[in-house]
A and B are shown apart, each in its own frame.
Chain A
């Protein structure tokens, strides 16, 4: 399966600022996703990062708040904009290489907004 490098691994940010999270994959992948995991909760899909076109957002998530870039098949970024304490979560990048391997996750970015 793929190896995912996600940066930063953690950050503490001031409210009102923005943070960009990077996801680098060691092989070309068609499907790339961004998930959010709030403290003590399960994973919720934010959006599908589409290469060469706008990301597809799930209900409750909008591009102005979570802009996503996908310039090629190995890299994507997620920006958390105008942060508030409610944005404190773990943000995870996920890819699918082949159906047999399921979805592979990065180790996540633990964000704390103060």
Chain B
């Protein structure tokens, strides 16, 4: 079953606002990833994090790998309508090749 707790479940924001979502786990992961899924499509990788404490940006997106290796957050600055979608966190351990996904955060941006 799922081992990642992602919050919030959904967000309704105004265009231009900043967004923050996070993921926590009771287990340690060696890699944290953040994906976005648009309707009718598979998830697309946004940011990958490989080291505890790592802070990585991709345009308006910033994500951090928690020091304890049990959490990660994703921030989106100055949101725009095309940011609408479902954002998933995912964790991976070295011993396993598969990923485990959070439940997702459904983002709605009002113009």
A92 pairs with B45, CB closer than 8 A: no
Listed from nearest, the 10 A-B pairs whose CB atoms lie closest are A105-B42, A102-B45, A43-B101, A42-B101, A102-B48, A42-B103, A108-B42, A45-B98, A107-B42, A102-B33
Q: For window 77-111 of chain B, which residues contact chain A by CB distance below 8 Å? A: 88, 90, 97-104
Interface residues of B (CB under 8 A from A): 2, 31, 33, 40-45, 48, 50, 88, 90, 97-104
Q: Does A75 contact B (CB under 8 A)?
A: no
Q: How far is the CA of A43 from the CA of B104 in the complex (A)?
A: 9
Q: How big is the A interface, by class?
A: 20 to 34
Q: Does A48 contact B (CB under 8 A)?
A: yes
Contacts of B90 in A (CB 8 A): 103
**Distance in Å from the Cβ of A91 to the closest Cβ of chain B?**
10
Interface residues of A (CB under 8 A from B): 1, 4, 6, 31, 33, 41-45, 48, 58, 92, 94, 96, 99-108, 110
Q: How far is the CA of A101 from the CA of B88 in the complex (A)?
A: 16
A105 pairs with B40, CB closer than 8 A: no
B99 pairs with A107, CB closer than 8 A: no
Contacts of B2 in A (CB 8 A): 42, 44
